[in-house]
Amino acid sequence: MNAIEARGVFKSFKTTRAIHDLDFTVEKGTIAGLIGPDGAGKSTLLRLLIGLLRADKGTIHVAGFDVALQPFQVKEQIGYMPQHFSLYGDLSVAENMKFFADLYGVSAGRFADRKKELLGFSALGPFEDRLARNLSGGMQKKLALACNLFHTPEILLLDEPTTGVDPVSRLELWQLLLELNGQGVTILMTTPYMDEAARCRRVGFISEGRLLADDTPENLVLGMTDEIAELVAPLEPAMHALQGVAGLKGAHPFGDRIHIVLGPESPDLAAIRVRLEAAGVAVGSLRKIRPSFEDVFLALVEDQGKRPAAQPGAGA
pLDDT in tens, 11-52: 999 888 899 999 999 999 999 999 988 888 999 999 999 999
For residue 131, the 8-state DSSP code is B
Average pLDDT of the residues in 264-283: 94
Q: What is the pLDDT of residues 159-203, one digit of tens each?
A: 999 888 888 888 888 999 999 999 999 999 998 888 889 899 999
pLDDT at residue 194, rounded to an integer: 86
As a whole-number percent, the residues of the chain with pLDDT over 70 amount to 96
Q: Which residue has the higher pLDDT, 84 or 257?
A: 257
pLDDT of res. 25: 95
Q: What is the pLDDT of residue 306?
A: 56
Residue 303 in this model has a pLDDT that exceeds 80: no
> Contact at 8 Å (CB) between 57 and 10?
yes
Is residue 308's pLDDT more than 70?
A: no
pLDDT of residue 47: 95
Domains and CATH numbers, the chain: 2-221 (3.40.50.300), 225-290 (3.30.70.100)
Q: Residue 57, SS3?
A: strand
Per-residue model confidence (pLDDT) at position 300? 84
**Where does the pLDDT of residue 272 fall: very low under 50, low under 70, confident under 90, or very high at 90 and above?**
very high
> What strands, in cross-sheet order, belong to the sheet with 2-13?
16-27, 2-13, 57-62, 65-66
pLDDT in tens, 103-143: 888 888 889 999 999 999 899 999 999 999 999 988 999 99
* Residue 310 pLDDT greater than 80, yes or no: no
Which CA distances in Å does 235 have to 238, 251, 254, 271?
A: 5, 11, 10, 19
pLDDT band at 304 (very low <50, low <70, confident <90, very high): low
Q: What angle do CA 89, 90, 91 make, to 5 degrees?
A: 90
Cα–Cα dist 281/58, whole Å = 53
